[in-house]
Structure 1
Amino acid sequence: MTSKITGVGNYIPGETITNLFFDQHVFFSENGIPLKDDNASITEKLKKITGIEERRYAGKDQVTSDLGLIAAEAAIKDAGIDPETLDYIIFAHNFGDVRFGTIQSDAVPSLAARVKHQLKIKNNFCVAYDVLFGCPGWIEGMIQAHAFIKSGIAKRCLVIGAETLSRVVDVHDRDSMIYADGAGAVVIEQNEQDGSGIKSHLSASYTLNEKDFLYFGKSYNNESCPDTKYIKMDGRKIYEFALLRVPEAMKQCFDKSGYEISQLKKIIIHQANEKMDEAIVNRFYQLYDMPAPEHIMPMIIHKLGNSSVATIPTLLTMILKDELDTHDINEGDVVLFASVGAGMNINAVVYQF
């Protein structure tokens, strides 16, 4: 027995934010010194490194749980199930519901509980809880749902990943241009009928020296909101860590699956940074003494930015719904999911469709 995805859904917010949006921003270094480069040069450099040309922001009247609800409804409809039959609703996020114009996090009750309420589920034994695991949170939710199903605790789960990172960024930090909003969800169920489903998984948390590579810190503009904290990252350390640790974790997970590397059809990796993701995938294949195949790694970061836990389920939905011209997934295809994020946390899943 394994667990199988039976429905997918996403929500891509309607507000498109191009790089021109940041023309009037005043960016500072981490030392509080205004950057010497003009904003056109800063955004062009960002595009070359990350691949980001546009990103999506949630509407002013929306919060993270609203986005998650829309994606969840789409996944439930796609699966053709009654929401009352769900055993678990697992909601991966990092900052709760943050209303537009504030940075106050509201995560009580849990976002999963809010979605369950909005779905009007009466079943008290449908358990709703949140996962805070950085960007790998959605994959971790999938791994937990799989464990519940394998152990016989559950037969059907809804796993949501949603975030509104645009609400928790320091507008004086150039890294703020990376972040975006979005949501994705899947229904995952017990599967005893065919060979499809989760074949192997792996999770790790590196915290001894890496805990603060992503953190909450003050604005780089020392005169702006001195007591307010925003998401911050040490980009260089994260890049070096990811290139060292993620490929080996991906290989360990893939080797556990029992498949040959020639059978791997797609790598669906967290859309964090195009250059970094390309380097991770190249190093992964180097561990097998071969070059990375063309079109192995779909990318949507160019138009959607980095929406944290939402990037992978959003991308998966787009592929399965034939919304990407150059990528598809067919019956029997073996796919490797992978992510890295705050903690520093890493995880991976091998899945056969």
Structure 2
Amino acid sequence: MTRRAVARGIGHYLPERIVPNSEFEASLDTSDEWIRTRSGIERRHFASDDQSTSDLATEAARAALADAGLEPDDIDGIIVATSTPDLTFPSVATMVQSKLGMTRGFAFDVQAVCAGFIYGLCNANALIVAGQADRLLVIGAETFSRIMDWTDRSTCVLFGDGAGALILEAAEGDGTNADRGILATDLHSDGRHRDMLYVDGGVSTTGTSGKLRMQGNPLFRQAVEKLTQTADAALDKIGMTGADVDWIVPHQANIRIIAGTARKMNVPMDQVILTVQDHGNTSAASIPLALSVGAGDGRIKRGDLILSEAIGGGLAWGAVALRW
């Protein structure tokens, strides 16, 4: 028998404020058509002034707990993937732990920008497989609207706020690729490409949170190649290919990157969960948001093989193969 980390519950939260592309036309040299054509984005959600990343993460966690039929103290630990924490410290995860009223276990953050949820899943899987936890809450949550340069039309129209949460639970499998749960993971990073996507501020440099900066075209070229490679590598570890995948649930950065990766994997677009049109790029929150949407509307079903991949600042990228 093989110990697996199996999905038990899923949930998400989006702030109430919806911002259509047309809202940017008054302040920027842009248009709804320009944004849709280049990104596939039609609208996004922005957090209110009194909402923080931990608030969004907590609401998503509550939704996942409700979906699983669990209470906060049924959870052994919380992992939050975010690049927009409430404070430099303590971690967002400990704030969520407190807001949920969870009185046991542990909590910590991981930071790999848009690849953060993939990194969080890999950490959670390792903890469960090693027997250090039986049930973990993995959250991706961001308030990227707080680090936008509103004069830069190439970046500020692309991002949104939100949170998604997945509960992983230990279960026994047969050790084959037919098992439910996380079957394979693949992680990479290359710090030589940091200037392609970064924030120009920080505690030990400027003493400010800074603003997001991106080199769109070079990043696009890196993204499709690296996402395809990491997706194929994860599947190869379990003797499978794109033809075996029921759903790709990718990081929702740009429709052209998503389509290019699916094409290279020989997976049709009707087997890709898309939320970029409604949410924009929510960084570490985008994959759990898409998982929650896909499971909630009935497309993702028990036993489906899911491949998730993401790339973000660092550069950091990776993939997870998960049987739902």
**What is the TM-score with the length of structure 1 in the denominator?**
0.85
Q: Paired residue for 2:169, among 177, 180, 189? A: 189
Q: Deviations over 1:270-324 (max 9, x none)?
A: 0000011111221233xxxxxx32412121111111111111111111111117x
CA contact (8 A) 1:248 1:284 kept: no
Q: Deviations over 1:157-177 (max 9, x none)?
A: 011110011111000001100
Provide the aligned length of Structure 1 versus Structure 2: 311
Measured in 1, the distance between the counterparts of 2:211 and 2:313 equals 14
Moved more, 292-301 or 107-116: 292-301
The alpha-carbon distance between structure 1 residues 138 and 228, as it changes in their structure 2 partners (threshold 3 A), is: closer
Q: Counterpart of 2:294? A: 319
Q: Does 1:23 align with 2:25?
A: yes
Q: Deviations over 1:184-210 (max 9, x none)?
A: 001101011672101111000011x31
The SS at the match of 2:247 is strand
Q: How does 1:1-353 map to 2 (within 5 A)?
A: 1-26=3-28, 38-40=29-31, 43-97=32-86, 106-123=87-104, 126-174=105-153, 175-192=155-172, 195-207=179-191, 209-217=192-200, 229-285=210-266, 292-322=267-297, 328-353=299-324
The alpha-carbon distance between structure 1 residues 121 and 228, as it changes in their structure 2 partners (threshold 3 A), is: closer
Measured in 1, the distance between the counterparts of 2:53 and 2:280 equals 16
Q: Deviations over 1:219-257 (max 9, x none)?
A: xxxxxxxx8830111111110111222111110111112
CA contact (8 A) 1:267 1:296 kept: yes
Query: Gaps (5+ residues) in structure 2?
Result: 202-207
Q: Counterpart of 1:29? A: none
Measured in 1, the distance between the counterparts of 2:173 and 2:188 equals 31
Q: CA deviation at 1:83?
A: 1.6
Measured in 2, the distance between the counterparts of 1:309 and 1:298 equals 16
Larger-gyration structure (1/2) = 1
Measured in 1, the distance between the counterparts of 2:150 and 2:36 equals 17
Percent identity between matched residues is: 33
Q: CA deviation at 1:46?
A: 2.0
Measured in 2, the distance between the counterparts of 1:203 and 1:295 equals 26
Q: CA deviation at 1:341?
A: 0.5
Q: CA deviation at 1:17?
A: 0.3
The alpha-carbon distance between structure 1 residues 150 and 52, as it changes in their structure 2 partners (threshold 3 A), is: same
AA aligned opposite 2:97: K
Measured in 2, the distance between the counterparts of 1:228 and 1:22 equals 23
In angstroms, what is the RMSD of aligned CA positions? 1.6
Measured in 1, the distance between the counterparts of 2:245 and 2:164 equals 23
AA aligned opposite 1:12: L
AA aligned opposite 1:204: H
AA aligned opposite 1:110: S
Q: Counterpart of 1:100? A: none
Measured in 2, the distance between the counterparts of 1:58 and 1:92 equals 17
The alpha-carbon distance between structure 1 residues 77 and 347, as it changes in their structure 2 partners (threshold 3 A), is: same
CA contact (8 A) 1:95 1:107 kept: no
Measured in 1, the distance between the counterparts of 2:180 and 2:231 equals 20
Query: Gaps (5+ residues) in structure 1?
Result: 27-37, 98-105, 219-226, 286-291
CA contact (8 A) 2:4 2:173 kept: no
CA contact (8 A) 2:43 2:279 kept: yes
Measured in 2, the distance between the counterparts of 1:269 and 1:316 equals 9
